[in-house]
Amino acid sequence: MLKNKTAVITGASRGIGRQIALQFAENGANVALIYAGNTTAAEETKSQLQKFGIKAESYKCDVSNWDESKTVCETIIKAFGSVDILVNNAGIIKDRLLLRMSEDEFDSVMDINLKGAFNMMKHLSRWVMKSSAGRFINISSVSGMMGNAGQANYSAAKAGLLGLTKTVAKEFAAKAVTCNAIAPGFIETDMTETLPQSVKDGVNISVPLKRMGKASEVANLAVFLASDLSSYITGEIIKVDGGLYI
**88 and 7 Cβ atoms separated by less than 8 Å:** no
Report the distance separating Cα 199 and Cα 153, nearest Å. Answer: 21
> Is-contact 234 179, C-beta < 8 A?
yes
Q: Which of 206, 164, 199 is nearest to 185 (CA)?
A: 206
CA angle 171, 175, 178 (to 5 degrees): 70
Sign of CA dihedral 64, 67, 70, 71: negative
Q: Give catalytic residue positions.
A: 154
Residue 32 sits at φ, ψ, to 5 deg, of -105, 110
The residue length of the chain stands at 246
Q: Could you give the C-alpha distances from 185 to 13, 20, 111, 234, in angstroms and in order?
A: 20, 16, 22, 21
Cβ 87 vs Cβ 139: under 8 Å: yes
User: Which residues are within 8 A (CB) of 69 and not within 5 positions of it... i.e. 6 or more apart?
Assistant: 61, 62, 63, 116, 119, 120, 123
C-alpha closest to that of 138 among 62, 68, 235:
235
